[in-house]
Amino acid sequence: MIKSGFESFVLSDEDCAEAIWVDDADDENVQPRPKFKVLRDARFAEFERVIRENYRARVVIVGRFDGVDAVQEWTESRKIKGGAVVGFHSNGFGHMGKYRARIVLKQVNEVNSP
């Protein structure tokens, strides 16, 4: 199921302990850049409607799967004129890099919504 909310866009299932972050292949911030674009057809439009209206839905999506063995977090600080900047970094995906896996969305094959 796709769950979408404030700083959350994940694929989850009752039988799986961890959610998977979902990224849009057309998002320029996705690294490494995918070699494909999102197929924006009628099924994709239905997928967007379900997300926009905050329904829960069963979906079948196609894309590139990326993952890490464990999420590692670190901070770096550097001095700037008049103070310092602390930067948060993670090798994970999604909000605050807390997800171990993501799928970079290429195509929606099926949407079963209420």
Residue range 11-54, pLDDT digits in tens: 887 888 888 889 999 999 899 999 999 999 999 999 989 888 87
- Host domain of residue 82: 2-112
- This prediction's pTM: 0.76
State whether residue 50 is helix, strand or coil. helix
Enter the tokens of residue 102.
């993501």
97 contacts: CB under 8 Å, gap ≥ 6: 71, 73, 88, 89, 90, 91
Q: Give the whole-number percent of the chain exceeding pLDDT 70.
A: 94
62 contacts: CB under 8 Å, gap ≥ 6: 105, 106, 107, 108, 109
Number of domains in the chain: 1
What's residue 114's pLDDT?
62
